[in-house]
Amino acid sequence: MSETRFAGAGRLAMGLAWVALLLGLWMWGRDITDGTGAPAPMTGDAAAVGRPPAHPLPEAHAPIAAARPQRVDIAAAGVHAPVVGAGLDRKGAVKPPPFSRADSVAWYRGGPEPGTVGAALLVGHVDTRSKPAVFYRLSDLRRGETVRVARSDGSTAEFTVEDVAMVTAKRFDARRVYGARTTGRAELRLITCGGRFDPKTRTYSANVVVSAYLTGTTRPPSHPTPGNTGNTGTAGTAGTAGTAGTAG
């Protein structure tokens, strides 16, 4: 993309574009607290972004123990980024990553951790004043592609994309966008600004919303303890069996 495209957006534009999104997140948090129940899949003005013909997706993996996200990797979108925790500001909105860290992703720590029951939320900028930001290619994702989230316990939660949607700001429904689609399932939402940029209002017309669900988990290989060769074999076998059981 040219320099002109990003200069036309600008920091002020991006700040305003986040307003509708973050207000929606605040509403979503209140809905969860109030126990309004699971929303229906997005329809209507939430149009699919380049979705290919439907094809079978893997079965959902059982939710895993809580651990903070540390990094997100999405090969298909060129995303390899650190994750930082985000809370609410004084106005009740979730804080996005600062522009000085436009290459990072914010996790809403008031919601689920990626891999646990519910819909974990990751948000990132699409661009800055002069260049693409971390989620610039988020809309390139397609159904069936993989999102990996490295976590503080050493595990990596693997999610499969089931839907990519462009949700217009005019009919933004926080509960539908951010609520879990299937009860008891570990889900993930990745959000950025999208649609058309209006230079008059300095806002984007929509948000790109990627919905994914947990389909696998991996851990780094364990290292044998020197001097305990016999026990290492048993521990290795038990560890493998445990992993297989978890994956099942």
**What are φ and ψ of residue 179, in 5° steps?**
-75, 155
Q: Which amino acid, one-letter code, is at 118?
A: G
Q: Residue 45 belongs to a domain with what CATH number?
A: 2.40.260.10
By the 10 Å C-beta count (0-12 exposed, 13-18 middle, 19+ buried), 205 is classed as middle
Burial class from Cβ neighbours inside 10 Å (0-12, 13-18, 19+) for residue 147 reads buried
d(CA 11, CA 128): 6
Rounded Cα–Cα distance for residues 205 and 210 (Å): 17
- 8 A C-beta contact, residue 72 and residue 191: no
Helix H or strand E encompassing 242: helix 229-247
> How many CB atoms neighbour CB 14 within 10 A?
24
Which of helix, strand or coil describes residue 124?
coil
pLDDT of residue 223: 61
214 neighbors 157 (Cβ within 8 angstroms): yes
pLDDT at 92: 56
* 47: Cβ contacts below 8 Å, ≥ 6 apart: 165, 166
Residue type, 22: L
Counting the structural domains of the chain, the total is: 1
Range of the domain at 222: 3-247
Q: Is the dihedral of CA 131, 134, 139, 145 positive or negative?
A: positive
Place of tokens 């925790």: 85
* 223 φ/ψ angles, rounded to the nearest 5 degrees: -105, 130
Q: How far is CA 53 from CA 41, 42, 48, 142, 163, in A?
A: 18, 18, 11, 10, 12
Going residue by residue through the chain, which has 248 residues, state the pLDDT in tens, using 9 for 90 and above: 333 345 444 444 444 444 445 545 544 443 433 333 444 444 434 444 544 555 689 999 999 999 999 999 999 999 999 999 988 767 655 677 888 899 999 999 999 999 999 999 999 999 887 889 999 999 999 999 999 999 999 999 999 999 999 988 777 777 888 899 999 999 999 999 888 888 787 677 888 999 999 999 998 776 655 554 444 443 333 332 333 332 23
Tell me what pLDDT residue 140 has.
Answer: 94
pLDDT of residue 44: 37
Identify the pLDDT of residue 64: 98
| Predicted TM-score of the model (pTM) | 0.72
3-state secondary structure of 35: coil
Dihedral of the CA atoms 85, 134, 44, 52 (nearest 10)?
-130
